[in-house]
Amino acid sequence: MDRHRLQRVAHLLRVELSDMIMKQKIKDPRVSSMVSISDIQVSRDLSYAKVFVSSFEDHTRLQSAVEGLNSAAGFIQSQVGKKIRLRSTPKLTFIVDHAIEKGFQITEKLKDAMS
């Protein structure tokens, strides 16, 4: 599959998933609007997508939010399928990503090194 098409599908998925989270269309109480999609990796045949999720909240809340997203994955997939016209909507798997937390740690280390 063309790499450009994979990137375009990943971008569309990211936009739709972020919109669902921000507008709180996912009714699971574990999923807050503080959760953000940091990256999406789509398989070459567009049948699977790994969605990396990060948050400004602590690790336990992030883990809980990812569990909530995984339990609502079928609903989310059906909603995304209605918005994005693909032959088949990728099966979504949500994974914890500590990118924001690591970014803050690096920033703090840089601040300490500069002073």
Does residue 58 carry a pLDDT above 90?
Answer: no
Does residue 91 carry a pLDDT above 90?
Answer: yes
pLDDT at 1: 58
Helix locations, the chain, DSSP H: 3-22, 59-71, 73-83, 99-114
Cα–Cα nearest to 11, from 80, 102, 88, 67:
80
Q: Please give the span between the terminal C-alpha atoms of the chain, in angstroms, as a whole number.
A: 49
Query: Hey, what domains does the chain have and what are their CATH numbers?
Result: 3-114 (3.30.300.20)
In this predicted model, what pLDDT tens digit does every residue of 25-35 receive, in sequence order? 998 899 988 89
In the sheet with 48-55, reading across from the earlier edge strand, the strands are: 35-42, 48-55, 91-96
Rounded to two decimals, the pTM is 0.84
User: Please, what is the Cα angle at 101 between 98 and 102, to 5 degrees?
Assistant: 80
Percentage of the chain with pLDDT > 70? 99
pLDDT at 99: 73
